[in-house]
Amino acid sequence: DAKTTQPNSMESNEEEPVHLPCNHSTISGTDYIHWYRQLPSQGPEYVIHGLTSNVNNRMASLAIAEDRKSSTLILHRATLRDAAVYYCILRDQGGKLIFGQGTELSVKP
């Protein structure tokens, strides 16, 4: 299973943009990049995914490097409700998600 590397923790101020990085140097050509987040005392929640091109949805944007060896999840205006653990996952086959340690994001008012 391909691995991802994320910082253990990050801090942000409320209403400011947040850029969460993820390195995945061993990504294969068919791996999708998925991002999930887990709020305290809840199950993980899907955020966004992409293959090669940058992606936007109502929650966030995903910027994928041209060589696909890294990606960045962008929260355009962080709110207190965005405080969570963010997981960057490479999905290579079937339905299984291989979670790493993720990045714990704290948001200061």
Partner 1 sequence: KAGVTQTPRYLIKTRGQQVTLSCSPISGHRSVSWYQQTPGQGLQFLFEYFSETQRNKGNFPGRFSGRQFSNSRSEMNVSTLELGDSALYLCASSAGLERRNEQFFGPGTRLTVL
Binding site for partner 1 (CB under 8 A): 30-32, 34, 36, 42-46, 49, 51, 87, 91-102
d(CA 72, CA 93): 22
Measured from the CB of residue 13, what is the shortest distance to partner 1 in angstroms? Answer: 28
By C-beta, is 18 or 91 nearer to partner 1? Answer: 91
Which residues, in sequence order, are CB contacts of 60 under 8 Å at separation 6+?
A: 35, 47, 48, 73, 74, 75, 76
* 18 C-beta neighbours (distance < 10 Å), count: 21
By C-beta, is 66 or 93 nearer to partner 1? Answer: 93
By C-beta, is 81 or 109 nearer to partner 1? Answer: 81
Measured distance between the N- and C-terminal CA atoms of the chain, rounded to whole angstroms: 38
Measured from the CB of residue 17, what is the shortest distance to partner 1 in angstroms? Answer: 24
Measured from the CB of residue 30, what is the shortest distance to partner 1 in angstroms? Answer: 7
